[in-house]
Amino acid sequence: MDRLDPRARADIYGQRINRAPYAWRVRSVPYASIMLGSILPVLLIADVMPLLPSLGFLMLLGWRMVRPGLLPLWAGAPLGAFDDLVSGQPFGCAILFWSLAMIAIEMIETRFPWRGFWQDWFTAGGMAVIYWLATLLLSGAPVTPEMFLVALPQAVLSILLYPILARMVAGLDRFRLARARRID
Amino acid sequence: MAPPSSRRSGFSKKAQFSQFAGYLLAGGFAFLGLSLLLLSLWQPAAFAPMRGVAGEVVTPVGTGAAVARTQSDGVLANIAAYFQAGSQNAALREEMEIARIRLAEAEAVKAENRRLKGLLGLADAPVKPVATARLVGSTATSIRRHAYLGAGSSSGVEPGMPVLSERGVIGRVLEVGRNSARVLLLADSESVLPVRRAKDDVIAFAEGRGDGLLRVRLVNLGINPLKVGDLMVTSGAGGYYRPGVAVAVISRITPDGGIASLVAEPSATNYVVVEPVHQSVAVTALTPGAESYTPPPAAPSAYQGASGE
């Protein structure tokens, strides 16, 4: 008998027969990647101005937009608490704004159930800019006019980075659901 | 992507309740976040122990990144130097001649200084650094300019201690974990440092502007004696820093002082030293509630009180 093409029984997550995804990967990848997004900017030494937008927040938006319904509604709070510990903002800042962002997206989604990429980008961009302004004003330090000038690139970057991060999230999602475990 | 249909609760009581509970929980957490935010804006040091624990996690990763950063800095500098080698060589030779002369002059001044101090009966013991460590990270997403240091209370680092590089002042220790510490950099808009001009006794405050530059405000207003290119050094007022450490160079003159750029840039440092508080007895006496020392909000006022403004 001719062997069938092995790809015939596979999809983007791998072979379908005799394989299953790892349970720990399915659960942990979204949270781990968002926390990694919080930690990564810490490794840079910024002595003049903020160098990167809050990657943790953008990753949260990415996961929420690319996989609706995966993160529970309250997931912004524990992830935000972790971000607060390393970001330099006063503790509670990210807990508040990440929670509000999750609620806001939920309400936008109820209003517009079918969304496209451009609408996602618009929503994420708007939220990133609001978050940028809020963190700037509530940083716990006196606000000077120069601050807005040096932080402006951060706002622009946070809008431009969203599509790239959304693609990364999609890639991470394929990794998360890849059927890498063999069932014997 | 359309939301999955499982999110429509329909007639299922269980689905309706769990959706409601989700909203309730998220709203509750948002409210909790708001109250924590207000608390930490009111008492910035309130969550320092938790941040200390997080710092412990970040520090080992950051140490690796710091090594890579200093090495790659070296590579880039080498390439740049290769292209400018000829003209730089001539310029450097000329500069070294002048520096030798100045060094000889400085030696003479140093000798005279020692003699005069001997006459006065003053003796400054050489300062022994508390710890030597790398800057392992910073808050690169926030407008605050904090850095993480790879040494903590286990090496004797305490809040308030000055952090110096080989070029000059970097900042001040703000919070301490066991093996990591958080440093308030000079460029942070909450940082205030009493300075004086290196060549005479024009005293001023150097405040961070939040954009990497310092605003130098003169204490005695009147005719502004500052010039572009003047070096500002620590004056020693307030008791945290020992006097005479380089801080910043004036780059622009304003009516009440000037705008200065930093001498020691944190990103260009390899190792930094943590020195003990210069006049710890005076600082303790000046700090209200000496046992429970709260660094950020109390420190600037302590400076201003100390310099008699």
B41-65 residue pLDDT tens: 888 878 888 888 888 878 877 888 7
Over range B117-125, report the average pLDDT: 71
pLDDT > 90 in chain B, percent: 16
A52:B140 CB<8 A:
yes
Q: Which of residues A15 and A26 earns the better pLDDT score?
A: A26
Work out the pLDDT band at A1, boundaries 50, 70, 90.
low
Please identify, in words, the CATH class of the domain defined by B131-306: mainly beta
Whether the ipTM is more than 0.90: the answer is: no
Chain A residues inside the 8 Å CB shell of B1: 66-68, 115
Q: pTM of the prediction?
A: 0.81
B144:A141 CB<8 A:
yes
DSSP per-residue string spanning B190-224: T-EEEEEESSS--EEEEEE-SSSEEEEEESS-SS-
State pLDDT tens for residues B243-259: 888 899 999 998 888 99
Chain A, chain B: beta-carbon pairs less than 8 Å apart: 206
A92:B266 CB<8 A:
no
Over range B144-153, report the average pLDDT: 89
Find, in chain B, the residue whose alpha carbon is nearest to that of A107: B23
pLDDT > 70 in chain B, percent: 87
Over range B128-153, report the average pLDDT: 88
Contact at 8 Å (CB) between B140 and A51? yes
End-to-end CA distance of chain B: 62
**Long-range own/partner contacts, residues B108-117 (CB < 8 A, 24 or more apart):** none
B interface mutation test: which of A34, A36, A42 has the most B CBs within 10 A?
A: A42
Instruction: Give the A window 24-83 contacts with B, CB below 8 Å.
Output: 39, 41-55, 66-69, 72-74, 76-77, 80, 82
Find, in chain B, the residue whose alpha carbon is nearest to that of A120: B1
| Domain boundaries along the sequence of chain A | 28-177
Contact at 8 Å (CB) between B214 and B260? yes
Find, in chain A, the residue whose alpha carbon is nearest to that of B147: A45
State pLDDT tens for residues B274-296: 999 888 777 777 776 544 444 44
Highest mean pLDDT among A3-12, B8-17, B175-184: B175-184
Work out the pLDDT band at B124, boundaries 50, 70, 90.
low
| Domain boundaries along the sequence of chain B | 68-120, 131-306
Assigned token pair, B92:
């450097």
Q: Is the pLDDT of residue B303 over 50?
A: no
